[in-house]
Structure 1
């Protein structure tokens, strides 16, 4: 984190005095209530910021360490109750410090099992740091990995991939999410761009395999629809794929990305590629 300022003696005295006050308050409470009781002494972010005389960044450091200890203490009852308040205070003190947002998202996921709260933490980080690619990228990965919500993942990856210093994989993950949502045109165009701008043969091959898979998915879906229509018209299954063209159900039998024929089994009606896309 940039911009951390050494603690002035006066601010140090104020900080120590505040901690001593918390200690005195806790000493007067029943022991059963001590875990996490210090939260009652935490004021709002603007109030803390006004009280620390320009040492907001340092105070954010202290608050962040305290928050980690607080959420690491399983003896604290109802730790979720003050979750938003704690991390809002830290964000108000140092809005450009990225670690607290990411940590808060992890706590929301692992401790609270609340995906929407986790995504809110990523969104809050993005709102305060609109040029930081890490927040929409992590949110997209979260939607993809844990929620299997590829529509939301696609939206997050789209935001991330064009931000400054975003990793190249963000664009590839966006293309993959588009494919998962059956947005084949967007997926095709993005993978085509990845293919044409690939820095090495490995990335080019990955993009080529995805392009192969997209074309095969579109072609096979069209062939299956034509085969079903042929069965309705003729009362039987097509013996060969070229029967679909001869009956004008399709303009021509498509070939795969490599120019090879698709395989068709008239007994089962299955159409498939001649090779596994990832083993070309």
Structure 2
């Protein structure tokens, strides 16, 4: 390399460093100025000047990950300030900037979705953030898994949760618990036949006794649920016809409402209260 080439390269490096320092100085000055303005007048004033990440990335000269770190640290402080009532207004904007600057930076996407789901109570926004993470990282099972988790346990949308669990299970490396949560979502959606088949497959392919025991208990619950639903319907029909509850479950057979009385998965009879007409399992599944 000639002396002239080395000189030109050194000058370019110095120029880029000086320009980066100047850019940071401008942003810092803007922050100082906006921080002097009451937040009640301009909610989220500290971030309204930040452009989209795809544009901001060009101004970092290869230091986009570093800037993503700075914005992430700032975001943690900003969204921890409960004195800012409108702080969630720019949630989507700020975390999309971080994702554009560093698409493979998982923590901000996880935290952004968490804040949206639990703090802002905006599950649709949480799902949007997680979908963005999956779009930028299609081989990462974590993002659809968290989306399914939020849908299943916050919104109780078990059908939609199943779709995200399916996406999770299509990605290599997902943990075994995902399939069990998927099976539970099917059960919670009251698709008992499919839930039974899924848990049975988990039981048959389990590599350890603990998983087999968990699957067995869920199979017990599914069968008990289907059986007690059958008994409940027959008991209601009996009462409608005779004006009272049957004295025992065998009356349902003699009266022609059932061909036989079901037993639980362990072969035990279901408990029945003739005063209330309630039938229930004889065993607590987790104590079998």
Are 2:10 and 1:15 equivalent residues in the alignment? no
> What are structure 1's unaligned runs of at least 5 residues?
1-7
Are 2:272 and 1:261 equivalent residues in the alignment? no
Question: How far off its partner does 1:58 sit?
Answer: 3.5
The answer (yes or no) to whether the contact 2:142–2:168 under 8 Å persists in 1 is yes
SS of residue in 2 equivalent to 1:82: helix
Aligned position for 1:100: 108
Q: How does 1:61-76 map to 2 (within 5 A)?
A: 61-73=69-81
The answer (yes or no) to whether the contact 2:217–2:286 under 8 Å persists in 1 is yes
Aligned position for 1:173: 181
Aligned position for 2:6: none
Are 2:57 and 1:52 equivalent residues in the alignment? no
SS of residue in 1 equivalent to 2:258: coil
Question: How far off its partner does 1:38 sit?
Answer: 4.2
1:27/1:241 Cα in 2 relative to 1: closer, same or farther (>3 Å)? closer
Aligned position for 2:229: 221
The answer (yes or no) to whether the contact 1:260–1:274 under 8 Å persists in 2 is yes
Cα distance in 2 for partners of 1:253, 1:260 equals 11
The answer (yes or no) to whether the contact 1:154–1:178 under 8 Å persists in 2 is yes
Cα distance in 2 for partners of 1:220, 1:47 equals 61
Cα distance in 2 for partners of 1:127, 1:85 equals 17
Cα distance in 2 for partners of 1:23, 1:272 equals 66
Question: How far off its partner does 1:123 sit?
Answer: 2.3
Match of 2:282 among 249, 265, 274: 274
When the two structures are aligned, how many residues end up with a matched partner?
Answer: 273
1:180/1:256 Cα in 2 relative to 1: closer, same or farther (>3 Å)? same
Aligned position for 1:5: none
Q: How does 1:104-253 map to 2 (within 5 A)?
A: 104-253=112-261
1:224/1:9 Cα in 2 relative to 1: closer, same or farther (>3 Å)? farther
Greater Cα shift, 36-45 or 21-30:
21-30
SS of residue in 1 equivalent to 2:51: coil
SS of residue in 2 equivalent to 1:274: coil
Q: TM-score, normalised by structure 1?
A: 0.84
For 1:102-121, what per-residue CA distance to the aligned partner results, in whole angstroms no more than 9, with x for missing partners?
A: 11112223442323322322
Aligned residues: CA RMSD? 2.7
1:138/1:235 Cα in 2 relative to 1: closer, same or farther (>3 Å)? same
> What are structure 2's unaligned runs of at least 5 residues?
1-12
Question: How far off its partner does 1:27 sit?
Answer: 5.4
Aligned position for 1:4: none
SS of residue in 2 equivalent to 1:271: strand
Question: How far off its partner does 1:51 sit?
Answer: 2.8
Cα distance in 1 for partners of 2:69, 2:92 equals 17
1:111/1:10 Cα in 2 relative to 1: closer, same or farther (>3 Å)? farther
Q: TM-score, normalised by structure 2?
A: 0.82
The answer (yes or no) to whether the contact 2:34–2:46 under 8 Å persists in 1 is no
For 1:204-239, what per-residue CA distance to the aligned partner results, in whole angstroms no more than 9, with x for missing partners?
A: 111111101110100111111112222333444333
